[in-house]
Amino acid sequence: MQRPHRPLPRALGLIVIPLIVVVGTALAAIAVWGMYDAFQEAPAVLVVAPAPSPTIGLREVSDAFERGLAAVKSGDRAAFRAALPARGVKANAALDDIWDHLAPLEWGALVPRVVGIPGKNGAFDVTIAGAVGGAGPVDRILVNRVLVFESEGGRLVATGDRSPAPLKRQYFSAFLRPRLLKGSGVVVVYESGWKQVARQLADYVPGARHTVDDVLGEHIDQPIVVFVYSSTQQVIDYLGNPDFERRVRFFSRLPKTLANLPHAPSDIGVVATELDEVDAQAVLTHEVTHTLTSRWFFRTRNEPTLLQEGMAVAVADGRSFVPLKNDLLDGQLTLPLLDTFATESFWQDRDMDRVELAYLESGATVQYVLSRWGSERFRSFAHSVAESSLSREDIKTAVRDELDVSWAEFYEGWAGYVQTLP
Considering Cα of 28, then 30, then 34, then 39, what sign does the dihedral take? positive
Look at residue 416 and tell me if it is in a domain: yes
Of 118, 152, 174, at which residue does a domain stop? 174
> Is the residue at 244 inside a domain?
no
Determine, yes or no, domain membership for 355: yes
| 167 plus 308 within the same structural domain | no
In a domain, 392, yes or no: yes
Q: Are residues 165 and 21 in the same domain?
A: yes
Residue 240 lies in a domain: no
Q: Which pTM does this prediction carry?
A: 0.84
Q: Indicate the number of domains in the chain.
A: 2
Distance CA 168, CA 240 (A): 10
Q: What's the CA gap between 357 and 323, in Å, rounded?
A: 7
Does 236 fall in a domain?
A: no
- Beta strands in 258-405, from DSSP E residues, in sequence order: 267-271
Structural domain ending residue among the three candidates 141, 158, 174: 174
Give residue 55's pLDDT: 59
Instruction: Decide if 51 is inside a domain.
Output: yes
Q: Which of 128, 114, 144, 143 is nearest to 53 (CA)?
A: 114
Q: Which residue(s) pair with 109 in the sheet?
A: 131
Least Cα distance to 44 among 233, 234, 255 occurs for 255
**Residues 170, 312: one domain?**
no
Question: In whole angstroms, what is the distance from residue 190 CA to residue 261 CA?
Answer: 25
CB burial class (10 A; 0-12, 13-18, 19+) of residue 237? buried
Q: Look up the domain containing 124 and give its range.
A: 17-174
The CATH number covering residue 102 comes to: 3.10.450
Residue 36 in domain: yes
170, 314: one domain: no
The answer to whether 69 and 131 have CB atoms below 8 angstroms apart is no
Which of these three, 138, 159, 174, is where a domain ends? Answer: 174
DSSP 140-195: BEEEEEEEEEEEETTEEEEEEE---HHHHTSGGGG-SSEEEEEETTEEEEEETT-H
Distance separating alpha carbons of residues 85 and 91, to the nearest angstrom: 9
Beta strand 155-161 with 250-253 is unpaired
> First-to-last CA distance in the chain?
22
pLDDT string in tens for the chain (422-residue length): 544 444 433 333 333 333 333 333 333 333 333 333 333 333 334 444 444 444 588 999 999 999 999 999 999 999 999 999 999 999 999 999 999 999 999 998 899 999 999 888 899 999 999 999 999 999 999 999 999 999 998 899 999 999 999 999 999 999 999 999 999 999 999 999 999 999 999 999 999 999 999 999 999 999 999 999 999 999 999 999 999 988 889 999 999 999 999 999 999 999 999 998 899 999 999 999 999 999 999 999 999 999 999 999 999 978 899 999 999 998 789 999 999 999 998 987 678 899 999 999 999 999 999 999 999 999 999 999 999 999 999 999 999 999 999 999 999 999 999 999 99
